Amino acid sequence: KRLQKELMALQSDPPPGMTLNERSVQNTITEWLIDMEGAPGTLYEGEKFQLLFKFSGRYPFDSPQYTDVRSVSDILDVLESVDNRTNERSLYRLHKDPSIGNK
């Protein structure tokens, strides 16, 4: 009940710079995809973030888990700022063995 109440509050009156991806809660209310904008006047101003929140059955006693979700283009932009040959090898290895990123 509490999670449902908080979800409804987020949908009806979200904090500034936060938007709930409505599709993320169509099938389950335990996973929320939130689009966020960096706060004005901070280092993050103008930046866009996407966070995935996962709530357990023990919420609110257990905190939700959250993950910074980034698109492939964002990751590639970051990788361009580092040695390209190293990046190409890393991306190739990750492509061939996706479990590398999960260790």
Domain ranges of the chain: 1-84
Q: Which residues contact 49 (CB under 8 A, 6 or more apart)?
A: 35, 36, 37, 38, 68
CATH topology of domain 1-84: Ubiquitin Conjugating Enzyme (3.10.110)
d(CA 19, CA 15): 8
**In the predicted model, is pLDDT for residue 72 greater than 50?**
no
Encoded tokens for 42: 């901070």
CB 27 within 8 A of CB 14: no
Residue 26 — pLDDT band, cuts 50, 70, 90?
Answer: confident
Q: Maximum distance among all alpha carbons in the chain?
A: 52
Residue type, 78: V
pTM recorded for the entire structure: 0.63
